[in-house]
Structure 1
Amino acid sequence: MGVLEDKSRARLFYKYLSKVYDRVNPFIWNEEMRDEALELLDLRPDDRVLDVGCGTGFATEGLLRYTDDVHGLDQSAHQLERAFAKFGKDDDVRFYRGDAERLPFADDSFDAVWSSGSIEYWPNPVAALREFRRVVEPGGRVLVVGPDYPKTTLFQKLADSIMLFYDEHEAQRMFEEAGFVDIEHHIQQARPGTPRAITTVARAPDDESADDESAETVETDA
């Protein structure tokens, strides 16, 4: 387990990163990449959407272009303070401090769930994905963006020591184990030579009988 897959360490890390997050983030996950991912989620104007690991609200801002019913959750009080400063005063978004592995919402509460730049800090990604499946309505879509696994041994060792990095096969395993179907994986990259993101879109089964439905994998290169 990487050093930042510990929740207390991750909170401390974001206490300081929150001060420069909005300036650093575009070098890894920029507006163009976010907007491409938003198109994959296929949101409707009346959808109720949960943004897990909302941070300072970079993805939240994009989600608000599609629906006014956006809810943001993060474990970092410092990140949430900055997100609330952007949106909370106008009540455009409801924010919650909470844990991705124990979401404080009832079953079937949302039409869609989005999470970008958060899965790499979860000690138990499958548990969190099962929570996503629980709170999204049957047939609802989930999108998760995480860091693609490096291709060289040196960077693989470095990545493994810090936080969760994974490839399409591991993403497929995690989403299948969490019970999702119609699973697709897309590789995104700001420009050649920059870190690659793996964006996975999946659907919650329409009912329990759909659990046995085979999942389809679609891979695209940057």
Structure 2
Amino acid sequence: MGVLENKSRARLFYKYLSKVYDRINPYIWNEEMRDEALELLGIQPDDRVLDVGCGTGFATEGLLRYSDDVHGLDQSIHQMQKAFEKFDEDEVTFYRGDAERLPFKDDAFDVLWSSGSIEYWPNPVDALEEFRRVVKPGHRVLVVGPDYPESGLFQRVADAIMLFYDENEAQRMFEEAGFVDIEHHIQQAYPGSPKAITTIARVPDADEDDEADASEGTEVEVPVETDA
């Protein structure tokens, strides 16, 4: 586990990073990449949208172009204070909270977005299961995280800092959390910059869940050969 896959250390890290975050972020995750991901998600005007790990509100600004009902959650008060300065009180509802224990009822949102947050989660599948819980059946979530480096040296550095993962690991995590129709997109600000892996997945409908439960509970009888 990387040094920043610890909530208290991550909060301390962002206490100082928040001062320069909006100047550094475009070199890794810029407006073009954000807007491309937003187009993939297909948000409708009447959707209730949750931005998990909203930080300084960079993604939140984009989400507001699609819906007036946007909610942001983050564990870093220092990051959120930057977001508070960007929006009027009635534009976004903010919550301080934990991705692994979301303070919302089941099926509370139509869309969930999370960018630049999963790499700090000690238990990513737990958080993804929470995403599935608070998003309505049949609706989608989008998660952006850092793509695993190709170089062995950078892989060792990455593993020591935070969670980096490839498409196979993303697929495993989302499947384990119970999502369906999972797709992955690799995005990059410019050649040579770190790559982002953007995953979009759907919460299964109730009948799909029932079918999955039925198939898991079905025992297959294997014929036993006997001597004639």
* TM-score normalised by the chain length of structure 2: 0.91
Q: Distance in 2 between matches of 1:44 and 1:103?
A: 23
Output the amino acid matched with 1:171: A
Aligned to 1:19: 19
The count of residues paired between Structure 1 and Structure 2 equals: 212
Contact kept, 8 Å, 1:179 with 1:211, in 2: the verdict is no
User: Which residue pairs with 1:30 in the alignment?
Assistant: 30
Paired position in structure 1 for 2:168: 169
Measure, in 2, the Cα distance between the counterparts of 1:211 and 1:42.
Answer: 27
Give 1:209's aligned residue: 210
Deviation digits for residues 106-162 of structure 1 (CA, Å, limit 9, x no counterpart): 000000100000000000000000000000000110000000000011000000000
* 1:209 shift after superposition: 2.1
Maintained 8 Å contact 1:205/1:211: no
Shift of the alpha carbon at 1:85?
1.3
AA of the residue aligned to 1:93: V
Shift of the 211–198 alpha-carbon distance from structure 1 to 2, 3 Å rule, reads farther
Identical counterparts, % of pairs: 81
Q: Distance in 2 between matches of 1:150 and 1:210?
A: 38
CA distance in 2, matches of 1:172, 1:71: 27
| 3-state DSSP of counterpart to 1:185 | strand
Amino acid at match of 2:172: R
Over residues 68-104 of structure 1, what are the superposed CA-to-partner deviations in whole Å (9 max), with x where a residue is unaligned?
Answer: 00000000000111111111x3410000000000000
Query: Does residue 133 of the first structure (1) align with residue 132 of the second (2)?
Result: yes
Q: SS of the counterpart of 2:4?
A: helix
CA distance in 1, matches of 2:212, 2:153: 39
d(CA) in 2 for partners of 1:21 and 1:152?
26
Unpaired runs of 5+ residues, structure 2, are 214-228
For residues 8-52 of structure 1, give each alpha carbon's deviation from its aligned partner in whole angstroms, at most 9, with x where no partner exists. 000000000000000000000000000000011110000000000
How many angstroms apart in 1 are the aligned matches of 2:204 and 2:212?
6
> Matches of residues 54-93 of structure 1 in structure 2 within 5 Å?
54-87=54-87, 89-93=88-92
Instruction: Quote the offset at 1:211 in angstroms.
Output: 4.1
Consecutive unaligned residues of structure 1, counting only runs of 5 or more, are: 213-222
- Residue type of the alignment partner of 2:4: L
**Separation in structure 2 between the aligned mates of residue 210 and residue 34 of structure 1, nearest angstrom:** 35
Instruction: Tell me how far apart the structure 2 counterparts of residues 134 and 210 of structure 1 sit (CA, whole Å).
Output: 18
**1:119-130 paired onto structure 2 within 5 Å:** 119-130=118-129
Q: Could you tell me how far apart the structure 2 residues matched to 1:90 and 1:131 are?
A: 27
Name the structure 1 match of 2:222: none
1:180-195 equivalent positions in 2, closer than 5 A? 180-195=179-194
Q: What is the CA–CA distance in structure 1 between the aligned matches of 2:170 and 2:11, rounded to whole Å? A: 24
Residues in 2 aligned to 1:160 and 1:50: alpha-carbon distance in whole angstroms: 29
For 1:179 and 1:40, how far apart are their aligned partners in 2?
21
**3-state DSSP of counterpart to 2:140:** strand
Partner of 2:223: none
Residues 175, 55 of structure 1: alpha-carbon distance in 2 compared, 3 angstrom cutoff: same
Which amino acid counterpart does residue 3 of structure 1 have in structure 2? V
Tell me which structure has the larger Cα radius of gyration.
Answer: 2
How much does 1:210 deviate? 5.3
Q: Does 1:151 align with 2:144?
A: no
